[in-house]
Structure 1
Amino acid sequence: MTTKLELAPASAGKRLGAAVLDWLGPFAVLATTFAIGIAGITQTRRNGFIVYDTGLLVLLGSIGLGVTVVYTFVLLGLEAKSGNTIGNQLMGIRSADSDGYAPGAGVVFVRGILTGGLLLLGSIVAVIFSALGLIGLLLWIALPLMFLGVVWAVLVVVSSAWDKNGKLRGWQDKAAKSLVFDVNAGRNPVTTGGIQGPYSFAPMDLPPVQPVASPVPSSQAPGVPHESKVQVPGQTTAAHASPAPAVQPSHDPNQWRPPSAPFAPTSAQAPSGSPSPAPAPAPSPAPPSTVIPQAPVAHAQAPAASPQPVTIAPQDTLAATAHPDDDVERTQMRPGVARAQAVLRIRIDDGQDVQLGGSVLLGRNPAPQPGEFVEQLLPVADPGRSISKTHLHLRVDGDGVWVTDRNSTNGSAVTTPDGLQTRLNPGEASFVRPGSTVHFGDRSFHLGQA
């Protein structure tokens, strides 16, 4: 199913055709009532004066004018709410405000007064002269004024033909700041999100767009088995990713050790048959301390069949040395050393260089969905309209960015530094690392670190 994305200004011919279809009925009513009323005028001579009986003209003219006024209000009210009228519907055009939405009462009123004000004035003058019996003024002023009103209305309607800006606006459009579009040749902005377009020009067979939250990656790196914990009496042992018969001691000099004391299990037994080291002199008395070894490294070799217990330290010492996230197996940081947060920037192909922070919506005119919170809205100029209004959702996470395509029309893709290109699935977040290029529509940006 194809979707019309471009906007097409209504031609002067279609504008005139719609106006004729809209006002042919009221004009016929006015012409008929005034013609019958004028034909029904009688004259009598009283006291040497000729007196004209215009009662029938006043009656019929008032009826015709009243019907026209009611019809005018109904028609203009319909146009104000939808940009549509009887003539617009038949000719395939729609009027709109300067943003492409339904014009509203103010815009329609200005357009109507400028277009048909002279004709309306002529009709009112004709009724007044008829009521006063001023037939001469009726024939020489009111009727010519109504004729000039018709000519003026035609000129105003077709004045867009002389607009140097692509025949986009007529005189009434410039005064009311309105636009008229051909919905048969292009998109109807009133029902598709205005001039900027809808949230996404996604094909109609796609499911409705739902708010997508980029997933939070696990602190465990891909391909690395989950850490194991030494069982401590009174505590639950964490699940092991894969069984191991024994854990070899680490010889890494940079391995973090608790600040309280070196690891020295008091009750660990050496394997059978192994020589026992000579006892060392006892240090000065100190409160017993608990040491929780860092997985996957252990500091004592023990048989796999039975994990060795360790001494439990006092509660205050344990609180000072244990990390509050030990229960979720989060790797502890070296005391006093904060992890440096990567500063990520994107360089768009139009020259924009933007530092990312938190979550970002990127597109031609990005806007969050109801209830959605984002920290940055990043509009990208796109005269060719190859990108959607809200095309991408970016969320900074550590040293990379989660990128989600928001069901855009022309899609998105990622090219990694080694040249591998992958198309993004709509609504699914993909993790992009610095050095990669993200393509969206005909545009692209490069992700780097500051």
Structure 2
Amino acid sequence: MSFGSPQNPYGAPQNPQQSYGYPQGQPGYGQPQPGYGQPQPGYGYPQQTGYPGGAGGPNPRIASMGRRLGARLIDGLILAVVYTILVFIGLVGAFSAASDCGDPGSIGYDACINDAGSDFAQQFGAILGGVWVLTLLYEWLMIGLVGRTLGKMAVGLHVVNAETGAKPGLGKSFIRWIVTMIGSVACGIITLLVYLSPFWDKSGRQQGWHDKAAGTMVVMN
């Protein structure tokens, strides 16, 4: 009885990989498998085209509180300038009306002055209402449609949808704005807390209460 050829007298398999029932073509024991330990798609922040930097780029860079404060100061300065101009126009109108009342002590002078003061009070209330509406339109429309205000443009920040990285849209932008405005009822104390709340966020995204309510986050360009 023959157990093999002269070159292989014991009949052992010529290919060692075919012995002991191991499957052919598999990598050796202990060698790293393809893809093992590599990060899987979707882990962490979503990599969407809406994030600044484009698709497939690094995770969005979270905006620092220093930059956010700078953007807020610039936006506040812009609105303060507009407010000052409107108040100045109202004052000019009030002084002009008072000058038409004639000399002090003349007949009807006191009544005329009272009317002028009443008119200015009404104008001042209208100015406050106009500034409130202007603030709404400025923050709401620019954040919702552009993703940034002039202040955020100046310091290189974007407000984005926290899940997709796209612009927030008008719905999320309005929620974000109204949360801060509700705080102004309490003499602005709650508004201040809202703006400081990113310091207490433990998610790593530095989301304020207004960001969490709206589902947004602030990132650098």
TM range (shorter): 0.5 to 0.7
Partner in structure 2 of residue 93 of structure 1: 157
**Pair 1:59 & 2:112 matched:** no
Distance 1:38 1:159 in 2: 38
**Compared with structure 1, are the counterparts of its residues 36 and 54 closer, same or farther at alpha carbon in structure 2 (3 Å cutoff)?**
farther
SS in 2 for 1:7: coil
Q: How many residues align?
A: 151
**Pair 1:176 & 2:219 matched:** no
Partner in structure 1 of residue 61 of structure 2: 8
Higher strand share: 1
**Compared with structure 1, are the counterparts of its residues 28 and 180 closer, same or farther at alpha carbon in structure 2 (3 Å cutoff)?**
same
SS in 1 for 2:197: helix
**Compared with structure 1, are the counterparts of its residues 92 and 15 closer, same or farther at alpha carbon in structure 2 (3 Å cutoff)?**
same
**Compared with structure 1, are the counterparts of its residues 82 and 28 closer, same or farther at alpha carbon in structure 2 (3 Å cutoff)?**
closer
**Compared with structure 1, are the counterparts of its residues 37 and 81 closer, same or farther at alpha carbon in structure 2 (3 Å cutoff)?**
closer
**Compared with structure 1, are the counterparts of its residues 28 and 168 closer, same or farther at alpha carbon in structure 2 (3 Å cutoff)?**
same
Distance 2:143 2:127 in 1: 24
Distance 2:120 2:63 in 1: 43
Higher helix share: 2
Contact 1:17–1:87 under 8 Å retained in 2: yes
Q: For 1:116, which of 181, 204, 215 is the aligned residue?
A: 181
Distance 2:128 2:136 in 1: 12
**Pair 1:152 & 2:190 matched:** yes
- TM-score w.r.t. the length of structure 1 is 0.29
Partner in structure 1 of residue 168 of structure 2: 103
Structure 2 unaligned runs (5+)? 1-52, 99-108
> Any idea what the Cα deviations from partners look like across 1:193-222, whole Å, max 9, x if unmatched?
xxxxxxxxxxxxxxxxxxxxxxxxxxxxxx
Instruction: Give the number of the structure with larger relative contact order, counting CA–CA contacts within 8 Å between residues 6 or more apart.
Output: 2
Q: For 2:79, which of 9, 26, 34 is the aligned residue?
A: 26
Report the CA distance between 1:30 and its aligned residue: 3.2
Distance 1:32 1:73 in 2: 18
SS in 2 for 1:54: helix
Please give the root-mean-square deviation of Cα atoms over the aligned residues, in Å: 3.4
Contact 1:97–1:103 under 8 Å retained in 2: yes
Partner in structure 1 of residue 148 of structure 2: 84
Among the aligned pairs, what percent are the same residue?
29
Contact 1:22–1:85 under 8 Å retained in 2: yes
State the structure with more CA Rg. Answer: 1
Distance 2:131 2:156 in 1: 26
Matches within 5 A, 1:116-265: 116-119=181-184, 148-149=187-188, 151-183=189-221
SS in 1 for 2:198: helix
Distance 1:57 1:34 in 2: 11
The code of the aligned residue for 2:144 comes to A
Report the CA distance between 1:113 and its aligned residue: 0.8
SS in 1 for 2:202: coil
Matches within 5 A, 1:392-407: none
Contact 2:138–2:149 under 8 Å retained in 1: no
Report the CA distance between 1:65 and its aligned residue: 3.1
> Any idea what the Cα deviations from partners look like across 1:355-395, whole Å, max 9, x if unmatched?
xxxxxxxxxxxxxxxxxxxxxxxxxxxxxxxxxxxxxxxxx
Report the CA distance between 1:36 and its aligned residue: 7.9
The code of the aligned residue for 2:214 comes to A
Partner in structure 1 of residue 6 of structure 2: none
Report the CA distance between 1:27 and its aligned residue: 3.0
SS in 1 for 2:219: strand
Contact 2:70–2:151 under 8 Å retained in 1: yes
SS in 2 for 1:29: helix
Distance 1:18 1:175 in 2: 21
Partner in structure 2 of residue 319 of structure 1: none
Distance 1:162 1:153 in 2: 15
Distance 1:118 1:173 in 2: 14
Distance 1:74 1:169 in 2: 21
**Compared with structure 1, are the counterparts of its residues 166 and 21 closer, same or farther at alpha carbon in structure 2 (3 Å cutoff)?**
same
Partner in structure 2 of residue 72 of structure 1: 136
